[in-house]
Amino acid sequence: FYLDLIAKKTAGGLEVIGAPHRWVMSANWKTAADNFVGDSYHTLFAHRSMVELGMAPGDPNFASAPAEISLQNGHGVGVLGFPPTLADFPEYEGYPDEVVDQMAASYPSPAHKDMMRRSAFIHGTVFPNLSFINVTIAPDHMSPPTPFITFRVWHPLSHDRMEILSWFLVERDAPEWLRDASQASYVNNFGPGGVFEQDDAEAWKAITESVQGPFAGAGLLNYEMGMDLTPLTDWPGPGEALPSGYAEQNQRRFWGRWLEYMGQ
């Protein structure tokens, strides 16, 4: 259902542009998978410089719009909308009419189109190490926001090193200007040297280093965020959906599944 939300906007589906970006990072692969499965709330802190440049929403309620959805077997996805204070945010993630006009016929259900209409940011992880985002971000502080799609594999090399394979995708029948602008937004934000990517890389590396010490091993991590939230009863998609991105339900399911594989 949720992969269809990203991949079936148009009749032509998605097209991979070029070879994947590949690079090695000194971080455990699970830090990245955890980040993409449910960590919608880190933007204002980890990416504060982007907020100050106006390339990311500064309203803390941005991540409070539904929904964070946990699925079976450790999978998780977020379909985040925009709060009333961001009423000027474009519908359909800012996709142009050439794409939006195809959605009704291309999507498997009307629920998909309505969900995309209200969406500002889609992220997720297919357990264990395939992640994706479909988000609208400006390629730089002088340009308008542009949607882009990337799929990633977090390939473990050791307990503290991983290889990242990152693909850029775009609608096969998207207009040429959108293809170019979308690729620029992806490269500048989530390419190997992208501004968002560098923020995340620093955090993942620091986490990997800090948890190897004796102090970290003696403590417990708190993953209780969102346990007081009531699941949505009218959510049109599969899974258990919570009405806020300020929740760690997806992370709890991800780590629970991983522990099952570890025999615990």
Report pLDDT for 85.
66
**Residue 51: inside a domain, yes or no?**
yes
DSSP per position, the chain: -HHHHHH-SSTT-EEE-SSPEEEEESS-HHHHHHHHHH--S-HHHHTHHHHHTTSS---GGGGGSS-EEE-GGG-EEEEE---GGGTTSPGGGG--HHHHHHHHHHSSSHHHHHHHHT-SEEEEEETTTEEEEEEEE-SSTTS--EEEEEEEEEEEEETTEEEEEEEEEEETT--HHHHHHHHHHHHHHHSTT-HHHHHHHHHHHHHHHHTTSHHHHTS-----TTTTPPPPSS--SSSEEES-SS--HHHHHHHHHHHHHTT-
Range of the domain at 15: 2-78+96-108+115-121+151-213+229-261
**Residue 204: inside a domain, yes or no?**
yes
Which CATH number covers residue 242? 3.90.380.10
pLDDT in tens, 135-168: 998 888 888 889 999 999 999 999 999 999 999 9
**Residue 257: inside a domain, yes or no?**
yes
**Residue 145: inside a domain, yes or no?**
no
Report pLDDT for 142.
84
- Counting as low any pLDDT under 70, the low residues of the chain are 55-58, 60, 62-64, 83-87, 264
**Residue 72: inside a domain, yes or no?**
yes
Domain count, the chain: 1
Report pLDDT for 84.
65
